[in-house]
Structures are given as structure tokens and as C-alpha cells.
Amino acid sequence: MTQRRLVVIGDALLDRDLDGVVDRLAPDAPVPVVDDPIIYSRPGGAGLAASLAAHDGIDVALVTALGPDRAGQELAALLAERGVEVEDVGLDGRTPEKVRILAQGRPLMRVDHGAAAPGIGPLTMATRALLHDASAVLVSDYGRGLTAHRDVRQALSRVAPRTPVVWDPHPRGATPTGPVTLATPNQKELAHFTASVVTDGVASLTAAARALTRRWGVSVCVTCGPRGALVADAEGPSLVVPPDAVADGDTCGAGDRFAVAAAASLGAGSVLTEAVEEAVRAATRFVLAGGAGATTRCEPPQIRTASTAGALAQEVRGRGGTVVATGGCFDLLHAGHVAMLQAARRLGDCLIVLLNSDASVRRLKGPDRPLQPEADRAAVLRGLDCVDAVDLFDEDTPERALEAMRPHVFAKGGDYTHADLPERAALDAWGGQAVVLPYLPGRSTTRLLEEARHRE
């Protein structure tokens, strides 16, 4: 039997980014001049989805249609380079290309080639067997005709009753076929499919999602960008899954990232709610990492929160604001911590918390600490209105993290003097100022732990 794997089926595109510098307008028209653009190419559409799955270490195959042209050859090579097995059903026409013109990473315009839906060949027995034995199937529809093909719809109808199928729809694409597990339209697509006005409110999203659920006969998960996702069945309360961080970045490919994570999670045996929660986390990390552009010519970085903190510091400094940082383990957040963090935030225009990793806390506090893992400690800190970003560090003290973001002010809580601060030398290098903010009297993690032991 064919090895079980995630199968992505849909329209693959060749994505190109032309990224250059803009510092002037053309003399003959009020349009920006992009100087010396660097060209980056990567798989797009269903090809991006399959590439993301391969990067996750998932055994993935892509069923798609490539044209017999230079773009098709380049796309096939890029997919092979990323470890994606391709089942090419053949495309009688031009391989679709999507070209973005960027200035210092910011999109200016997009040019598409191969927009018309050309002829697509029949599914082979090998392709049918691949779908039959999949652990999960992701239908990545980009409106180019593959998901409307009779053979494809018949094969998916046979697969759906016994295999998790996630359908990522497109306004110009086909409707889901068979008992699909989950459809993942974004808010704009939801409005298109229901021919209704959909606002950001939960009630509006739920009503439209339920309407689409009844029309398609599938569970609908609406992806809502930085607000996370909403899942609605025909009746009952909707599930709202917010992100664990504010993802402000290039959202290109975020929907593919979401759909891949949901399909892979369902294929691994997760229930629907677990799969959606994992998909929101994956899409958030993806946007924080720079979106689809970060996948070009290199593997996407393993994202913690440093890139977010660093970008925030650069943005605030660039507009003339004051960057404030503080550090600590924050293992058992108490009122003293909160008061100190609030006071630190009032010293500038943003507050970045440098958080000791689990390994760092164990070295400093002993083998029975931390009480909470780093992900939970970071999540609690991010939940405070006074905290703008959290940056994990592995060393005993945060000098390297400070050197990377160079805050104007470094605030410490407790009984420190300037001479006691191990970070002082690093701060002096760029003129950063250290300040000490007192905790509330009688509040400390040590005292709380001693009190808890006393009461046992």
C-alpha cells in the first residue's frame, strides 16, 4: 500500500517578488521608480501549501497541473528542491505566474500571467491511489480549474467519507464536494459565497458562516486575520480562537499556512477544535516571520518572539519614540510585577519584556523552577495591556538581547543599584539608561512560594 501522507491537491502557481529601493518618482508620471530590484521565486498557491508542509517535516505529495513551459519547469524544480513529491496531471496552457513589485519589502502592485483556466489532463491510477491512501487531504483551490475537474471531484467524493479533507476555497473556484471535514474561507470570501455583508462582529460572522454551512453541508472556519478564526456549525455556539500574539506583517500565504496546519493536525488524529487552535498558532507565527516572502531561497526561520520585539523597537525608534525594556523570569506573576511593568511602560512609547527561557530559569533558580513553562509565562505577559512584546533569551542575563534592540531605557524591579546591574556595560555602549523601579512592598515570588508551602 502507498505510504500514508498529507496530499495537497490544487492549483500551483509560480510566485515572483521583485524587491528594490524606491526613493523617487518617475519624471513622466507620478509613479514610484523601483531601482535595481532583486528577483526571488518560490512556489505559490497549492505549491506554497505543499512546501510549508514539507518544511514542517510532513511527508507530503502535491497533485497539480503544470504547463510545458519555462515557468512550469522552474516551479517543478523549486518544489523538488523543497522535498515535495509532485503528481503532475498536465496543463494544456501557460503555468500561472503571480509577480509582486515591492519596495523595501512593501508591495506596490501585482501582475498576473496565465489567468484563464486552461485544459487539465485526467487523473492517473497512481494519483487516485495517492488520494485513497492519504492521512489527510488539503484542497488548495486558486480558481484555475483543477478542483472543478470531473475526475478530481469524483476522487474527492470517494475520499471524503473516511479521510479528513480541508477545503481552502477561492471565489472563482469550485464548491466542496462530498462530506468535507472543514472549509476555511477568509472573511472576504465568506461575504462572496453568502452574497452578504459580513462585519467584524461575532454575530455577523456566525450568521454568515452558518448560512454557508447549510449551503455546503460542511463545518466552516472563517479566518479573520489578526483576530484569529471562528468556527460555526449549523447550530450551537461558535468557537472563537484568538491568536496568542498580534501578527503585524506580510500576510501573503497566511491562509495556506492555516489550512496546512489544520489538515496536518486532523490527519494526526486531532479533533476539529484542536486542529483550528493549532492552525491559528501556525498562521500567527508565519506572519510574524515575514509571510511567504520569508520562504524564498531559505527555510523559514524558527520563530520565537525576538523578531517581533526587534521589529517593534526599530519601528518605535524610527518614529522618534522611546523604547523601554525590562527583564526577568516572571515565573509567578504577582501584583508587584504588574505595578513595576505598568510603571516601566509609562517611561516610553513601548515596553518589551526580556523573558528568561526555561533553561535559563533552571540555572538561576534551581531544578524545581520554573513553575510555568516559557510559553505560558510569555502568554501571561502578553495579556497585559502595558506589555507590547516579549522576547525570550537563553543566557543568564539579557545583554545579547539588549544589544540587538538597543532600548533607550532598561527598567529593573527590586533592590538593584546601577553598579549592581550586570547589563550596565552593554547599556553604556549606546547610551542606554538603566532605572530601578520598586516592587510593591511585601510582594515577591519567593514569599508567595514560602506561603504556599507553609499552608500545605
Of the residues 256, 358, 388, 391, only one is catalytic, namely 256
Q: Pick the last residue of a domain from 263, 295, 327.
A: 295
Instruction: Check whether residue 247 and residue 323 sit in a common domain.
Output: no
Dist CA 47 CA 166 (whole Å): 16
Residue 69 annotated as catalytic = no
Task: Quote the domain boundaries for residue 436.
Answer: 306-455
Q: Pick the last residue of a domain from 246, 270, 295.
A: 295
* Beta strands 182-183 and 219-223, pairing class: parallel
First to last CA, the chain: 57
pLDDT of residue 446: 55
Q: What are phi and psi of 73, to 5 degrees?
A: -65, -40
Residue type, 126: A
Query: Taking a C-beta distance cutoff of 8 angstroms, is the pair 234, 210 a contact?
Result: yes
Residue 277 domain flag:
yes
CATH number at residue 338: 3.40.50.620
Instruction: Check whether residue 284 and residue 313 sit in a common domain.
Output: no
pLDDT of residue 355: 93
Instruction: Check whether residue 323 and residue 361 sit in a common domain.
Output: yes
Place of cell 494526526: 268
148 burial (CB, 10 Å; 0-12 / 13-18 / 19+) is: middle
pLDDT of residue 454: 57
* Beta strands 239-241 and 182-183, pairing class: unpaired
Mention every residue, 6+ apart, whose C-beta is less than 8 A from residue 399.
Answer: 422, 423, 425, 426
* Beta strands 350-356 and 389-393, pairing class: parallel
pLDDT of residue 249: 62
Instruction: Check whether residue 286 and residue 321 sit in a common domain.
Output: no
Instruction: Check whether residue 397 and residue 429 sit in a common domain.
Output: yes
Residue 287 domain flag:
yes
CATH number at residue 53: 3.40.1190.20
Instruction: Check whether residue 322 and residue 259 sit in a common domain.
Output: no
pLDDT of residue 292: 63
Instruction: Check whether residue 154 and residue 224 sit in a common domain.
Output: yes
The Cβ of residue 184 has, within 10 Å, a number of other Cβ atoms equal to 26
Q: Which helix (H) or strand (E) holds 106?
A: strand 106-113
How many helices (H) and strands (E) the chain has is answered by 15, 20
- pLDDT tens by residue, the chain, 456 residues: 344 689 999 999 999 989 888 889 999 988 899 888 888 899 999 999 999 999 888 999 999 999 888 999 999 999 999 999 999 988 888 899 999 998 877 889 999 887 666 678 788 898 899 999 999 999 999 988 889 899 999 999 999 899 999 999 999 999 998 889 999 999 999 999 999 998 888 888 989 999 999 999 999 999 988 888 999 876 667 788 888 765 556 677 888 999 999 999 999 999 998 999 999 988 888 887 776 665 543 333 333 344 468 888 888 888 888 999 999 888 888 888 888 898 889 888 999 999 999 999 999 888 888 888 888 888 889 888 899 999 999 988 899 889 988 999 998 876 555 456 678 778 888 988 888 886 655 455 555 555 555 555
pLDDT of residue 44: 92
Instruction: Check whether residue 58 and residue 205 sit in a common domain.
Output: yes
pLDDT of residue 300: 35
* Beta strands 229-232 and 239-241, pairing class: antiparallel
Instruction: Check whether residue 130 and residue 58 sit in a common domain.
Output: yes
Query: Taking a C-beta distance cutoff of 8 angstroms, is the pair 255, 186 a contact?
Result: yes
Dist CA 280 CA 270 (whole Å): 14
Q: What are phi and psi of 330, to 5 degrees?
A: 50, 50
Residue 229 domain flag:
yes
Query: Taking a C-beta distance cutoff of 8 angstroms, is the pair 421, 344 a contact?
Result: no
Instruction: Check whether residue 335 and residue 365 sit in a common domain.
Output: yes
Q: What is the sign of the dihedral through the CA atoms of 445, 451, 454 and 456?
A: negative
Domain count, the chain: 2
pLDDT of residue 302: 34
Q: Pick the last residue of a domain from 266, 295, 324.
A: 295
Instruction: Check whether residue 245 and residue 273 sit in a common domain.
Output: yes
